[in-house]
Chains A and B, each alone.
Chain A
Amino acid sequence: MRDKISSSPVLSVVSKILFAPIIIFGLYVQFHGDYGPGGGFQAGVIVAAAFILYSMIFGLSKGETLVPIMINRYLMCTGVLLYAGVGIVSIFLDGMYLDYNVLSSDPSTGQHIGIILVELGVGITVATVMIALYHSFASFGEINE
């Protein structure tokens, strides 16, 4: 199961072609969330979908080489810490917790910076948690072997 690689060349070629566009679309949703529908949650899921597609087609061990388990777990924490860290930084800049006005001399720009950083934190956490969920589910069966 672990190294079961899809025998169909159509699947592997299509997934190779689709991998980069999916990630680019994810980044578009991430950073265009201020202007259209989208944001960290959706972008994280879309980016995770690209990696999950890769591990589905090329086998779990290849997916784990692409995103090593420990790096994935560190990134999970990084996302939450980035979000919470923006709040701490705004405390140190004489604001309230998660008050983005103080992040820049112009309150409006400060809000922009704060929202982009916070959404990035959400995106990183969601993407890595989804990848971790998939890997946990997919590798579950081999425990009893």
Chain B
Amino acid sequence: MNFLLINFFLISLLLVTTFFIFKTTSLISVVALTGAFTLLCSAIYVNLDAVDVAFTEAAVGSGISTILMVMAAAKLPEGKKNKLINLFPSIILAVAISLILIIIISNLPLLGDPNAPIHLHVVPEYLKESKDFFHIPNVVTNILASYRGFDTLGETIVIFTAGLGVIALLTSNTLNRKTNFKKNKKNER
């Protein structure tokens, strides 16, 4: 009962936040509200007992992303307000996607159902084996780093590549400017 009440409360807060994200016109407020949105999401994950996911969501989603979005918003020109655009196509698209999602939800297994497909495939094996073999209590870490080591290697490389991409896009000009500066200095001599 408590679980349902907390979930209901958090999800209604999510709806309120979404409404204000939609309504507000200032960029910084949108960024702040998005941060609040992801923080609420991580609270929902804690309520669902997925602490690892909640931790990641809180650190990455509402922490670093918000900072980066604030930096990006600060670089944009101020004072421009969104003109009233034709909302009709977006509303139709949103309603269609929500309908599809609602239909899918009715086909999903119930929350915590022990006979759900995800709990029958490899998870029982992992849970049984990792306790005796690894002596590491956090099964999530075992799966992430050992059973699914290749996936995590891929994720790390994705983050690395993303960093490389941003560096190449945003700082190449700065470096060029510095080398030009050095060249100019040499020419002056």
Contact = CB atoms under 8 A, between A and B. Distances in A.
A37 B55 contact: yes
Interface stretch (B1-9, B66-74, B115-123): B66-74
B47 interface: no
Given A111-B146, A118-B149, A138 B173 contact: no
Q: Interface size bucket, B side?
A: 35 or more
Given A79-B156, A126-B159, A134-B68, A38 B146 contact: no
Given A45-B64, A141-B75, A125 B156 contact: yes
B171 A139 contact: yes
Contact of A42 (B56, B75, B149): B56
A97 to B, nearest CB: 8
Contact of B141 (A34, A76, A80, A87): A34
B127 to A, nearest CB: 16
A80 B160 contact: yes
Nearest to B175: A69
A20 B148 CA distance: 33
Contacts, number: 138
Main secondary structure on B side of the interface with A: helix
Interface string A99-136: 01000000110011011001101100110111011111
A136 B149 CA distance: 30
Interface string A32-56: 0111111101100110110010001
B150 interface: yes
A112 B160 contact: no
Contacts of B32: none
A73 B167 contact: yes
A18 interface: no
A100 B144 CA distance: 13
B23 to A, nearest CB: 27
B156 A136 contact: no
Given A48-B64, A137-B71, 12 more contacts: A39-B145, A42-B56, A77-B160, A98-B153, A100-B146, A108-B134, A115-B146, A118-B152, A119-B141, A132-B167, A136-B171, A137-B68
Interface of A: 29, 33-39, 41-42, 45-46, 48-49, 52, 56, 73, 76-77, 79-80, 83-84, 87, 98, 100, 107-108, 111-112, 114-115, 118-119, 121-122, 125-126, 128-130, 132-143
10 contacts: A34-B138, A37-B138, A38-B55, A39-B52, A98-B153, A108-B135, A112-B134, A122-B155, A132-B166, A137-B71
